[in-house]
A and B are shown apart, each in its own frame.
Chain A
Amino acid sequence: MQNTISQPKAGESYLLWFIKIVTGLLIIVILFIHFLVNHYLAPEGLLSHAEVVAYYRNYPIVPIMEGFFLVFVVSHSLIGTRSILLDLNLKKNIMRVVDALLVTVGLVATGYGIWLLFAVINWGA
């Protein structure tokens, strides 16, 4: 083990960590609004389909906010997951597979989430 501590190992730098922190701080604001709307202000405790559609249509800022929320929370959770996996000191080639998987999940989740936003906005139109 001790002999392998030789060169600084690339693979996680200040930039990923910085993105993790900044997205985290942005999420907390939106997540709080999210909890408020979906739990506190929802008349029946949870929003119905019609209410979600109205929520998105009545306030144009809302779908934009949800879109950013989606991107931030997906990146944050995947960078966070990666950071947990890095704690396991996985082999380089395994880490490459992990990275590819995480990027794929991120892209699919973001694409799907944005499609969903439009599906709701355009519901019945």
Chain B
Amino acid sequence: MENPTKKPNTRGILDWFDPRGRRVGGWGFILNRLTAIGLTVYLYLHLIMLGKLAQGPEAYDSFIAFAKQPLIMFGEMLVIIGGLYHGLNGVRIALNSFGVGVPAQKQLLYGVLGLTLVGSLIFGLRMFATH
């Protein structure tokens, strides 16, 4: 070719997350990646925050009291929804990768979404009830 350094026609990372024109499986990938990044950020913040356990009841319990406000609870709910989705979808990908159920990947994804919804409702209602 005249110009071997030509870059491919792509918007790079934007194309990972752009759902336009994509189908069910593509949406599954987008959600998986978003939840994965979200959970990873959460994990390390979570570990830092849990450091207050070592500082004793005053430090930790005042933090817990602080956490019981709508915005943070909403965030916790997102973590639960994300965790359920990513975990269940992980089972779907694992099955598929061992050659199981690939032709049914769409139905499996609907199942993952359904279970995520049910699980989130259960945890959400409980959270609502205790506060």
Known A35-B80, A44-B130: A84·B44 in contact at CB below 8 Å: no
- Compute how far the CA of A116 lies from the CA of B49 in the bound complex, rounded to whole angstroms: 11
Q: Quick check: is A80 within 8 A (CB to CB) of the other chain? A: yes
- Compute how far the CA of A112 lies from the CA of B4 in the bound complex, rounded to whole angstroms: 49
Q: Is the beta-carbon distance between A119 and B54 smaller than 8 angstroms?
A: yes
Question: Which label, helix, strand, loop or mixed, suits the secondary structure of the B interface?
Answer: helix
Contacts of A39 in B (CB 8 A): 76, 80, 123, 126-127
Known A24-B94, A31-B87, A46-B67: A1·B8 in contact at CB below 8 Å: yes
Number of A-B contacts (CB under 8 A): 93
Q: Quick check: is B26 within 8 A (CB to CB) of the other chain? A: no
For B67, the closest partner residue in chain A by CB is A46
Contacts of B93 in A (CB 8 A): 21
Q: Is the beta-carbon distance between B87 and A27 smaller than 8 angstroms?
A: yes
Question: Which label, helix, strand, loop or mixed, suits the secondary structure of the A interface?
Answer: helix
Interface flags for A47-79 (1: CB within 8 Å of B; 0: not) read 111101000000000000000000001100100
Name the contact of A46 in the complex, choosing from B5, B13, B47, B68 (C-beta under 8 A): B68
- Compute how far the CA of A2 lies from the CA of B8 in the bound complex, rounded to whole angstroms: 10
Contacts of A25 in B (CB 8 A): 90-91, 94
- Compute how far the CA of A24 lies from the CA of B37 in the bound complex, rounded to whole angstroms: 14
Q: Quick check: is A104 within 8 A (CB to CB) of the other chain? A: no
Mark A residues whose CB is within 8 Å of B: 1-3, 21, 24-25, 27-28, 31-32, 35, 39-40, 42-50, 52, 73-74, 77, 80-81, 84, 87-88, 105, 109, 112-113, 115-116, 119-120, 123
Extra pairs beyond A28-B91, A49-B64, A109-B47 (5, CB < 8 Å)? A28-B87, A47-B64, A77-B36, A116-B47, A116-B50
